[in-house]
Chains A and B, each alone.
Chain A
Amino acid sequence: MLLDARNVTKAFGSFWAVAGADLSVAEGEIVGLIGPNGAGKSTFFNCLAGDTQPTSGRILFDGADVTRATPEAHARAGIGRTFQVPMTFEDMSVLDNVMVGAFLRHPHRSDARDHARRIVELTGLRPDQPGRSLGTPGRKRLGIARVLATEPRLLLLDEALAGLTPTELHEAIALVQRIHETGVTIVIVEHIMEVIMTLTRRVLVFNQGQVIASGRPEQVVKDEAVIEAYLGRGARSHA
C-alpha cells in the first residue's frame, strides 16, 4: 500500500469531525472521496496532507509514519495537495508560481525553470501570465501545475475541478487522466459525480466523520446508506 490511514480521528472540542476513518490506496490507483457537506472529507483530507494533525490514528506513506509530519515534510516525502480555494501567488507569473514547486527537487534555478516550463506546457497555461490575472479555471490549473512540479507520488486533489464550465470540466478531467498516466497515484475529493464516475474505479463515501460505504462508483451510488446520507431517511420510498 502506498498510503495507509488507519482509524484516523480528529476532534474539535467535543465534536468529532473525523471519527475513525480508514483509507488504503495502492500505487497507481485513483480513489474518490465523496459525501455530503460537513461530512468530514476536508478535515480527513487535511490530516492526510499534514495540514491538520489527527487526534488519534496512524497514517503510513510508503511504510513510513507521517501522522505527525509537517506539510513541508509531506511534500518532501512525495505527497502533494491542491486547495479547494486555490492560493495563487498573486504577484508572481505562472512560471514563477510553478518554479516554487519545482525548486523542491531542483535547487538550481535553470533546472527548476526547465522543469516548471515542461509542467506548464502539460497543463496548457501561459508561462508569462501574471498570477493575479488568472480566472478560476486558470487558478485551479495552476494549483495542479504547482504541486505537480514537486513530483509527488501521491496527489491529493481537493475539489480541484469544482466551479468549472462543462468544457473546462472535460479539459480538467483529461488533465487529471494525463497526470495519472504518468504514474501518479491520486485521491480526489469531489462533489461532481461526473468526475467521480469518469475518473475513479473506487470511491469512499463519508458521512458524519465515518466511511459509510466503499466500492465501485456505480455500486456506491445505489447503496441505501449513501442515498440516506445525501437525501435523508425515506428518500427511497418517495422516489
Chain B
Amino acid sequence: MKQPISPRAGVCLLAAVLLLFPLVFTEAFYRDIGVAFLLAAISASAWNIVGGYAGQVSVGHSMFFGLGAYAPLLCYTLWGWPLVAGIPVGIALSVGLALIIGLPTFRLSGHYFSMATIAVAELIRIFFGTWALVGGAIGLQGPAVARGWWDLTFRGDLPYYYIFLAVLGLLLFVTFEVGRRRFGFYLRAIKASERAARSLGVPVRLTKLKALALSATFTSAAGSLYAVKTGFIDPDSGFGILVSVQMVIVAALGGAGTLFGPLVGALILIPLQTAANTWFGGSGSGLTFILYGGIIVLIARFEPGGLHELWRRLAPIVWRRAHAA
C-alpha cells in the first residue's frame, strides 16, 4: 500500500516544525504552550515504554516524576549543588525505586498492577508532605538567580524549549531503537500474551523490569526539567495523581505503544487544557479533571487504540478517495 508521505520525510517535517515553532510564534503565551507540550510529550513517551509497548499500565508514574523533580532542588537546598548535577541523582533514585517497586508489583497483572502503582505514588506523596527535610507540604525552591549555566535557570522560555526538544528527540530515538530490537519484540509479546511469551523463552519479569527502569529514567528526567524550569516543587505538583493520569491520557489519546502516539496526544491535550484554563479562569484544576474524564470516556467508548488506530483505519480510505479520480 502506498503512503501519502514516506516515514522519513514525515519525521523531517515534524522536526522542522518543532524547531521553527518558537521562532515563528514569538509571543510568551505560545512559547509557554510549546514548552508545556514538550514536557507532556516527554513524560507520556517515557510512560509509553512500559505502559504502551509492554502493556503494563502504571498510574503511578508520578513517583518517578516527583523524585526527578525533588532531587535537583533538594541537592541545591542541602549542599548548594548545581541543578544540573541533581538530575542524575533523581534518575538513580528513580531507577532504584523502579527495581524495588517492580519486583513485587509485576507479580500482579492488569488492574491490580495499576492500583498498586497508584498506592505507591500516593504513599510517597503523603510521606513527602510530612517530611521536613524536603520542605513538607510547602516543598522546595531553586536558586532565585542563576549562578551559572549549570543551574539551568533562564529568563525566557526559549532555552527551555530547545533543551526539552533535545530530550524528547533523544527519548524518541531510544524508543525507536528499542522497538526494532529483541527487547522491543519481547515487550510487544508480553503485552499480547505473557504465557505465550514465556513459552518462547522470553524472560518476562526481567524484561518488564528493564522496561520500567528505562521508563523511570526518562520520567525522572522530565520531572527534573519541570522543577528546574518552574524553580519550585511541592508534593502535589511532583507526586500528585494528576501527573500520572496526564501521562496515561496523553499516550492513550494519541495511541499507546506507538512511537508518535504520545506526541499527537500532547499536541491535542495541552493546547486544549491551556485554552480551557485561560478561558474559564484560574480555578482550573477542577476543570482539568473534567477534561481528563471526558477524554477517558471518549477513548474507551469509541477508539480504545487512540487516534493512531483511527488514522490507520481512515487513512487508506481517504487516500483512495483522493486518488480515485
Q: Give me the interface of A with B, judged by CB distance under 8 Å.
A: 49, 51, 70-72, 74-76, 80-81, 83, 87-92, 96, 99-101, 103-104, 107, 109, 112, 146-147, 149-150
A92 to B193, CA, bound (A): 12
Q: Which of B180, B182, B202, B203 has the most CB of A within 10 A?
A: B182
Kindly count the residue-residue contacts between A and B in the assembled complex, taking CB atoms under 8 Å apart: 72
User: Given A103-B182, A109-B182, are A146 and B188 also a contact pair (CB < 8 Å)?
Assistant: no
**B182 x A87 contact (CB < 8 A):** no
A76 to B206, CA, bound (A): 15
User: Given A89-B193, A103-B182, A112-B182, are A75 and B188 also a contact pair (CB < 8 Å)?
Assistant: no
* Interface residues as binary, B183-223 with A (CB distance below 8 Å gives 1, 0 otherwise): 00110110111011111111110000000000000000000
B256: min CB distance to chain A, Å = 11
A51 to B52, CA, bound (A): 26
| B323 interface hit (Cβ, 8 Å) | no
**B201 x A87 contact (CB < 8 A):** no
**A71 x B199 contact (CB < 8 A):** yes
Additional 14 contacts, C-beta under 8 A, given A72-B202, A109-B180: A51-B195, A71-B198, A80-B200, A87-B193, A89-B188, A89-B192, A89-B196, A91-B192, A92-B189, A92-B192, A100-B186, A103-B186, A109-B182, A147-B199
| B181 interface hit (Cβ, 8 Å) | yes
* Interface residues as binary, B93-123 with A (CB distance below 8 Å gives 1, 0 otherwise): 0000000000000000000000000000000
A101 to B196, CA, bound (A): 10
**A107 x B182 contact (CB < 8 A):** yes
Q: Which of B186, B189, B201, B257 has the most CB of A within 10 A?
A: B201
A150: min CB distance to chain B, Å = 6
User: Given A72-B198, A150-B201, are A90 and B192 also a contact pair (CB < 8 Å)?
Assistant: yes
**A96 x B200 contact (CB < 8 A):** no
A206 to B103, CA, bound (A): 39
A235: min CB distance to chain B, Å = 38
B276: min CB distance to chain A, Å = 33
Contacts of B191 in A (CB 8 A): 91
Contacts of A91 in B (CB 8 A): 188, 191-192, 257
Contacts of A101 in B (CB 8 A): 200-201
**A72 x B195 contact (CB < 8 A):** no
**A146 x B193 contact (CB < 8 A):** no
